[in-house]
Amino acid sequence: GQQLNQSPQSMFIQEGEDVSMNCTSSSIFNTWLWYKQDPGEGPVLLIALYKAGELTSNGRLTAQFGITRKDSFLNISASIPSDVGIYFCAGQLAGSARQLTFGSGTQLTVLP
Amino acid sequence: ETGVTQSPTHLIKTRGQQVTLRCSSQSGHNTVSWYQQALGQGPQFIFQYYREEENGRGNFPPRFSGLQFPNYSSELNVNALELDDSALYLCASSLGGTTDTQYFGPGTRLTVL
């Protein structure tokens, strides 16, 4: 089945620094989504991308849908302590069941 | 607008038992998807329901079954529980269609002893 390679697996950064993480796939996806998950909670949608090349921002977050439709990245600028959590990319294929295929997650720790 | 809700929050069962998990979709959403998330991993797709019909299934055995009701709420049933079924079970609702953005509930933590 499809697999998403998400990197890095974990990051330790200083408060105020910028962060970048990405996902790559061997399959072409029609939609890329980025979620953040806090411990014991469900994933919360951060950004949804629907077109190849699309660049979308949500506050300090910016994500892009790769031109090849096989990759996406998420940038967080000027990190703050509440950015701590696990970030997941998810890709969605066209079809009758628009199931999400998730990456393995990036654990972000923000140091004061 | 009401978000996705799930019940119960936590559940402890023993091997061989059966369990039913419940999900209420976000207002206006007609599609519900269920995912299993093992500790330290990303969620894995179990199945999806659209207007009360199963609309796709992941690589899970038949002892994982589901239902969707006319109000678009949903149940996930797991029979003959195994230790490896211990996980966070997530429900996501969406509008369906070409841009099927899925919104997740808080999950049910199932522990099988």
B74-84, pLDDT tens digit by residue? 999 999 999 99
According to the model, what pLDDT value does residue A75 have? 98
Hey, are the CB atoms on B48 and A97 less than 8 Å from each other? Answer: yes
Within 10 Å of residue B52's Cβ, how many Cβ atoms?
14
According to the model, what pLDDT value does residue B95 have? 85
Mean pLDDT by 10 residues, chain A (112 residues): 84 96 92 93 94 96 96 97 96 76 96 90
Q: Tell which residue, B60, B52, B51, has the closest CA to residue B89.
A: B60
Is the Cβ of A52 closer than 8 Å to some Cβ of chain B? no
Using an 8 Å CB-CB cutoff, list chain B residues near A95.
Answer: 56
Task: Give the least confident one: A39-43, A59-63, B42-46, B64-68.
Answer: A39-43
Distance from the A109 Cα atom to the nearest Cα atom in chain B, whole angstroms = 15
Q: Among partner residues A42, A99, A101, which is closest to B90 by beta-carbon distance?
A: A42
Hey, are the CB atoms on B42 and A48 less than 8 Å from each other? Answer: no
Using an 8 Å CB-CB cutoff, list chain B residues near A41.
Answer: 106-107
Within 10 Å of residue B49's Cβ, how many Cβ atoms?
26
According to the model, what pLDDT value does residue A58 have? 96
Q: Can you read off the two tokens belonging to residue A27?
A: 């399959």
**How is the beta sheet containing B64-68 ordered, strand by strand?**
B5-7, B19-24, B74-78, B64-68
Q: Is the pLDDT reported for residue B28 higher than 90?
A: no
Q: Is the pLDDT reported for residue B69 higher than 80?
A: yes
According to the model, what pLDDT value does residue A108 have? 97
User: A25 vs A2, A61, A69, A82, B50, CA distance in Å?
Assistant: 8, 22, 9, 29, 27
